[in-house]
A and B are shown apart, each in its own frame.
Chain A
Amino acid sequence: MDLIADRGRRVTVEELNTTKLLAHAAKQVKDRKFDDVLIVDTDAHHYENENFAEILPYMENEVLKQLALSSRAKGGRGNVMPSGFGYQDMGGRVTRYPLRASEKTDDKRQRDAQLGDRWMNAMGVDYSCLFPTGMLNVGLHPQKEMEFELCWAYARWVTEKALPDTNGRMYTMLCLPFSDPEGSLRMVETFGDRKGVGGFMITSVREKMSVSDNAYMKVYRAIEERGLAIAFHSGPNWGSNTFQSCNRFLSAHALGFSWFNILHCTNWVVNGMGERFPKLPVLWIEAGLAWIPFLMQRLDHEYMLRPSECPVLKKKPSDYMRDMFYTSQPMEIQDMEALETTFRMINAETQLLYASDYPHWDFDLPSTIWDLPFLTDKARHNILGGTAHKLFKLPPRNEAQKQNLVKYGNYVGG
């Protein structure tokens, strides 16, 4: 296939075959004997818009459903999902974007499940937490009714159609219609006990959201009671007022992912949510790691001067932050000492979860964790899968994995 490079020049590249594209990852799996290590990828994606034809019919409200369906009909011009600006594909340099449609699958199983098998096998990943892509912007939808309908339809489709096709290799944390606290609660009550649901996710890309509003306490309580986790999945929003002065996608992307999690994490911590829901595991996803030491220092500093503003807290903000979980990708491996300090500050050995973010452009392989020179074996195993095994009760897939879980004190059965 030809891709367009500079000045309309055409460049031939092979059509996409994920297994071939990731052949070097498979070599890493072999060299490092990853088959013996339970590896859980806590953040992977698919392009749910490719499945809208199947998803949208699950919408409940007939009028909104008709609006959404007709927008997709030929000649229709509606736009159901808010979308952002950006060049994730780097002008085709990251070839799996433009070539995506060229990859062949059969019609025996869900296409996303087949693609999932290919990249999980190549990377040595045993389980993936599947998240949507475009839907990460659902919090920008001006209609909370539509936000609910889309989240609801997706939740039904993913738990009834997509996940059952993955032979148990994929699970999910379902996207909550957070603008609608009642709707969010209904989602937790309806889907919380379904197979493959490890928890619920709030899309961080929201311009106005108060995670500490009283209206949400029943939602958090319902998740905590079920022994599930809650996650904040970040993203960029170049169109937001904050980032309008960024003239390069790089700037809006680098800042945006960190920013939206910094924002909500601050509100979460300062309002003592960790004190209120001590058993609720909280995950911060896809913001990298560099922001965490920054925020810990910043919040501790202010807290010491203004404790009267957060009387619910019984310890420093950074202590609450150390109780929470962070996914590793996109890990800033630039200054090894800084990274080591970050790992120490967040108690990475028990709080860090490996994530690939595949197939997005800045995905990380398991070797990014495995090859870190300062990690103990226990930390390696915990971060790659041991901690996630405990959180999400994912059974080891072979005896060697089980032995390793036992060896490092992570095994909780399955």
Chain B
Amino acid sequence: MAEQFVGKASEFKDGERQIIRIGEDEIGVFRHAGAFYAYSNFCLHQGGPACEGLTIARVIEPLREDKTSMGLHFHESDMNFVCPWHGYEYDMKTGEHVADRRIKLRKYDVVQKGDEVYVLA
């Protein structure tokens, strides 16, 4: 496990992402709402480029007390990223599949030292 330099935080805008290759690994590094997240870019479904698709808020369907549905809505803050091959949706903060939390992308730690961003890989 070594710190791998990814880039300068000041050049890494919010909403931007980088797909990097370190040896055999491909890693998607996201900057979302100020924080950095890094996950394996190999989707757990059929191996698609999990980190290269759409980012989109989690869809929720709130139920009222009486169990009636309030319909479909986007969550205020929870963000998913979606594998572009077939749509596996992963939680931006954890890398878990939103429909089955046991399915979890390999997560890499990201450390920031001054302006420099490193991935532990």
Interface residues of A (CB under 8 A from B): 3, 5-7, 9, 11-14, 21, 23-25, 27-28, 90-96, 361-365, 367-368
| CB nearest to A23 among chain B residues | B49
B111 contacts A by Cβ under 8 Å: no
- The one of A14, A90, A363, A365 in contact with B52, judged by C-beta atoms closer than 8 angstroms, is A14
B20 contacts A by Cβ under 8 Å: no
Kindly list the 6 A-B residue pairs having the minimum CB-CB distance in the complex, ordered from nearest: A6-B57, A5-B56, A6-B74, A95-B84, A93-B82, A93-B87
- Nearest Cβ distance between residue A399 and chain B, in whole angstroms? 29
Do most interface residues of chain B lie in helix, strand or loop, or is the interface mixed?
loop
Task: State in angstroms the CA–CA spacing of A348 and B52 once bound together.
Answer: 35
Task: State in angstroms the CA–CA spacing of A6 and B47 once bound together.
Answer: 26
CB pair A5 B84 closer than 8 Å: no
Residues of B contacting A367 in the complex (Cβ-Cβ under 8 angstroms) = 46-47
CB pair A13 B52 closer than 8 Å: yes
- Nearest Cβ distance between residue A372 and chain B, in whole angstroms? 13
CB pair A5 B49 closer than 8 Å: no
Residues of A contacting B74 in the complex (Cβ-Cβ under 8 angstroms) = 6-7
Do most interface residues of chain A lie in helix, strand or loop, or is the interface mixed?
loop
A-B contact pairs, 26 of them (CB 8 A): A5-B54, A5-B55, A5-B56, A6-B74, A9-B57, A11-B55, A13-B53, A13-B54, A21-B49, A24-B43, A24-B47, A27-B47, A28-B47, A93-B53, A93-B54, A93-B84, A94-B85, A94-B86, A94-B87, A95-B53, A95-B54, A361-B87, A362-B86, A363-B85, A364-B46, A365-B46
Task: State in angstroms the CA–CA spacing of A5 and B82 once bound together.
Answer: 11
Residues of B contacting A25 in the complex (Cβ-Cβ under 8 angstroms) = 47
**Residues in B31-74 with C-beta less than 8 Å from chain A:** 42-43, 46-49, 52-57, 74
Residues of A contacting B46 in the complex (Cβ-Cβ under 8 angstroms) = 364-365, 367-368
New contact pairs (17) apart from A6-B57, A13-B84, CB-CB < 8 Å: A5-B54, A6-B56, A7-B74, A9-B57, A21-B84, A24-B47, A28-B47, A93-B87, A93-B89, A94-B84, A94-B85, A94-B86, A94-B87, A361-B86, A365-B46, A367-B46, A368-B46
Residues of A contacting B55 in the complex (Cβ-Cβ under 8 angstroms) = 5, 11
- Nearest Cβ distance between residue A63 and chain B, in whole angstroms? 43
| CB nearest to B16 among chain A residues | A12
| Residue in B54, B74, B87 whose Cβ sees the most chain A Cβ within 10 Å | B54
Residues of B contacting A13 in the complex (Cβ-Cβ under 8 angstroms) = 52-54, 84
Task: State in angstroms the CA–CA spacing of A277 and B86 once bound together.
Answer: 39
Residues of B contacting A93 in the complex (Cβ-Cβ under 8 angstroms) = 53-54, 56, 82, 84, 87, 89
Residues of B contacting A23 in the complex (Cβ-Cβ under 8 angstroms) = 49
CB pair A24 B84 closer than 8 Å: no
Residues of B contacting A12 in the complex (Cβ-Cβ under 8 angstroms) = 15
Chain A proximity mask over B73-97: 1 for CB below 8 Å, otherwise 0: 0100000001011110100000000
Residues of A contacting B87 in the complex (Cβ-Cβ under 8 angstroms) = 90, 93-94, 361
- Nearest Cβ distance between residue B73 and chain A, in whole angstroms? 10
Residues of B contacting A24 in the complex (Cβ-Cβ under 8 angstroms) = 42-43, 47-49
CB pair A7 B57 closer than 8 Å: yes
Residues of B contacting A21 in the complex (Cβ-Cβ under 8 angstroms) = 49, 84-85
| CB nearest to A90 among chain B residues | B87
Residues of A contacting B42 in the complex (Cβ-Cβ under 8 angstroms) = 24
| Residue in B53, B57, B74, B89 whose Cβ sees the most chain A Cβ within 10 Å | B53
Task: State in angstroms the CA–CA spacing of A23 and B42 once bound together.
Answer: 11
Residues of B contacting A11 in the complex (Cβ-Cβ under 8 angstroms) = 15, 54-56
- The one of B56, B82, B84 in contact with A96, judged by C-beta atoms closer than 8 angstroms, is B84
Residues of A contacting B56 in the complex (Cβ-Cβ under 8 angstroms) = 5-6, 11, 91, 93
- Nearest Cβ distance between residue B33 and chain A, in whole angstroms? 12
| CB nearest to B46 among chain A residues | A365
Task: State in angstroms the CA–CA spacing of A18 and B33 once bound together.
Answer: 30
Residues of B contacting A361 in the complex (Cβ-Cβ under 8 angstroms) = 86-87
Residues of A contacting B49 in the complex (Cβ-Cβ under 8 angstroms) = 21, 23-24
- Nearest Cβ distance between residue B100 and chain A, in whole angstroms? 11
Task: State in angstroms the CA–CA spacing of A414 and B47 once bound together.
Answer: 34
- Nearest Cβ distance between residue A9 and chain B, in whole angstroms? 8
- Nearest Cβ distance between residue B39 and chain A, in whole angstroms? 14
| Residue in A3, A11, A23 whose Cβ sees the most chain B Cβ within 10 Å | A11
Residues of B contacting A28 in the complex (Cβ-Cβ under 8 angstroms) = 47
- Nearest Cβ distance between residue B77 and chain A, in whole angstroms? 11
Task: State in angstroms the CA–CA spacing of A81 and B56 once bound together.
Answer: 33
Residues of A contacting B47 in the complex (Cβ-Cβ under 8 angstroms) = 24-25, 27-28, 365, 367
| CB nearest to B43 among chain A residues | A24
Residues of B contacting A364 in the complex (Cβ-Cβ under 8 angstroms) = 46
Task: State in angstroms the CA–CA spacing of A21 and B43 once bound together.
Answer: 13
